[in-house]
Amino acid sequence: MPMQTVQVRLTKEQLKLIDAKVKRGEYPSRSEAIRDYLRKAEFLELFSRFLEVTGHQPFTMKELEQTRAKVWQNKFAARVRARKTQ
């Protein structure tokens, strides 16, 4: 999918968080970190809607984070590492 360039303003704290994740190798770039955060936000929004529609009890933030971490490890981490080596 073609990408477009946009300007985003972040706080110093937000930028430090992103830069730390890039430095640790969790993301190859700031852009990829921001795109991943947007994907996660979209997923959480859809998941919340699913819970509302189906009447399921919402999960705690700890449970959501544990699930997110498992999905990340299984699905996305390998892709990010592969891009990093290219």
Which residues lie below 8 Å from residue 54, measured CB to CB, with a gap of 6+?
A: none
Q: Is residue 6 part of a domain?
A: no
Q: Is residue 55 part of a domain?
A: yes
Structure tokens of 71?
């999905």
Q: Is residue 3 part of a domain?
A: no
- In this structure, the number of other CB atoms found within 10 A of the CB of residue 78 comes to 10
Domain that holds residue 54: 12-85
- The stretch 20-40 carries a mean pLDDT of 94
Q: Is residue 78 part of a domain?
A: yes
Alpha-carbon distance of 9 to 76, in angstroms, equals: 26
Q: Is residue 4 part of a domain?
A: no
Total domains, the chain: 1
- The stretch 28-39 carries a mean pLDDT of 94
Q: What is the pLDDT of residue 86?
A: 65
pLDDT band at 2 (very low <50, low <70, confident <90, very high): confident
pLDDT digits (tens, 9 = 90+) for 37-77: 999 999 888 888 887 788 777 677 788 788 878 877 776 76
